[in-house]
Structure 1
Amino acid sequence: MAMSVGGDSTDTPMSDINTTPLVDVMLVLLIIFLIAVPVAIQAKKVNLPNVRFDPTTTKPENVLLAITGTDGQCQVYWGVTPVTHAELLDRAVAKLKYEIARQGGPTAPGLELPEVHIRGDVETPYRCIGGAIYTMQMAGFAKVGFISRPPPGDTIARL
């Protein structure tokens, strides 16, 4: 490494940048990355299923919500009945309590809680759908799913 002492008689500070340490650090980093990258990029082959979607099995105790949003207003339908946020919470709590009592109480063996299936309009803002999900989870529903339309041309093999 070289160092300039500044043999001028003007005694002005030297304004040149010593780039040798910078080049040394960059070369060390380059070598580290050349060694580390091939080790980090190792892929494991995984066989994924060829299923686009699974058909939903609708049980009579499941809750079906339809959510639309026009002009910034959210509208939630329980089945075909429009409900407000407070009514949605009250109905959800009542439905869950009824299903638990019908199956023998919270400690009954094989307790199957109902699910919530949501149909959301394409133009619906996410805050409307997210609010309904939050309300149903607040009521105690653990499984919330979305109902969607399959792409055209897809066929479903029913077993």
Structure 2
Amino acid sequence: MSFGSPSQDDDMMSEINMTPLVDVMLVLLIIFIITVPVINHAVKIDLPRATSQPSDVKPAHVELAIDAAGAVTWNGTAVEQDVLKARIAEAAAQQPQPELHLRADRQTPYEKVAQVMAAAQSGGLGKIGFITDPNVGR
């Protein structure tokens, strides 16, 4: 049985041509051989280990209040300007450094608040938080 004979033009070819199928399979095999090492390439990174236990260490804070007359209280005790600077220097030397919670009365002049903030900054305190009461003045 020959496939190219002129006497069998009307007959259908009964065998499958395997050459294109083998060519496609060889091309796919070469592509997979080339890409598999690229896909498995990994970079080793040392990541920190995480724990599921919350840390109970809460940073210390200092309550600093200024009333309408400009009087300053440090954790509830009245202090003068020179004592305030000394206490700020003591607090700045602590590790970890405490946070300064500044509460000012509504009628306090801004100049007094700015003076206290400048004293805290020059003393070395880096964390200052402002405490407000939204219900006051309604």
Q: List gaps (5 residues or longer) in structure 2.
A: 1-57
1:1-159 matches, cutoff 5 A: 59=58, 61-70=60-69, 74-97=70-93, 99-100=94-95, 112-151=96-135
- Describe the SS at the equivalent of 1:88: helix
TM-score (norm 1): 0.46
Supply the distance in 1 between the matched residues of 2:89 and 2:62 (Cα, whole angstroms).
12
After superposition, the CA RMSD in angstroms is 1.8
Supply the distance in 2 between the matched residues of 1:67 and 1:137 (Cα, whole angstroms).
17
- Describe the SS at the equivalent of 2:78: strand
Q: List gaps (5 residues or longer) in structure 1.
A: 1-58, 101-111, 153-159
For these two proteins, the number of residue pairs brought into alignment is: 79
- 2:28 aligns with none
Q: Where does structure 1 differ by over 2 angstroms across 4 or more consecutive aligned residues?
A: none
- Describe the SS at the equivalent of 1:146: strand
Give me the identity figure in percent.
34
